[in-house]
Amino acid sequence: MDLALFDFDGTLTTRETFPDFMRYAVARPRLLVGGVLLAPVVFGYRRGWVAGNPTRASIVQVGLRGVDASRLRAQGDAFAREVLPDVLRPEAMARLAWHRERGDRIIVVSGGLDVYLAPWCATQGVELLCSVLAERDGRITGYAGAQCVGEEKVRRVRALCDPQAYAAIHAYGDTHEDNAMLAMAHHRTYRGQAVA
């Protein structure tokens, strides 16, 4: 049995789904105010001046802090059913199916949020390691621990299983935040292309 590690956004999908989910789940007035408050951060991110982790943390704080957690989970379920099927990359999903047919262990390793990735992965019958939202007294408070990007992806995989127990490791990614995970694999695919 081999181990197959898939990034989600941009690898299994045609685009980033985190912004899509925020537009889907955040109430319109809060979305408009948040857009104004976060404009400098988003601008800095797009220019390469602000890293992804603080950008996403700021967006989660402004957009989701204080939101009813059970309501957000219900929105995540609906988003997984209604939106994600339309943004899946057919060739990547075919590769996931290939691993499933071989009996490989498949883990989606993503910086995306658990509220929509967990229901999607459950329907696919695959395991999930991702960024998790924290809650207190039934309300979202922000991220629970580190975002699942970069070296954190490798740390989480190693905490879940022993990579050396598998005949080979396959990894699929599309950004620099996947490089550490790709480096641990015998077979690497970056943006749909096999790499040495």
Domains and CATH numbers, the chain: 3-195 (3.40.50.1000)
pLDDT of residue 79: 98
CB proximity list for 187: less than 8 A, separation 6 or greater: 168, 169, 170, 171, 194
**CB-facing half-sphere around the CA of 59: CA atoms within 13 A:** 24
CB proximity list for 156: less than 8 A, separation 6 or greater: 109, 129, 148
Amino acid in position 99:
H
Which pTM value belongs to this model? 0.95
Q: Is 180 helix (H, G, I), strand (E, B) or coil?
A: helix
Amino acid in position 111:
G
pLDDT of the chain, 196 residues: tens digit per residue: 999 999 999 999 999 999 999 999 998 988 888 888 888 888 888 898 988 899 999 999 999 999 999 999 999 999 999 999 999 999 999 999 999 999 999 999 999 999 999 999 999 999 999 999 999 999 999 999 999 999 999 999 999 999 999 999 999 999 999 999 999 999 999 999 999 7
| H-state helical runs in the chain | 18-25, 28-46, 52-64, 69-82, 90-102, 114-124, 151-160, 179-183
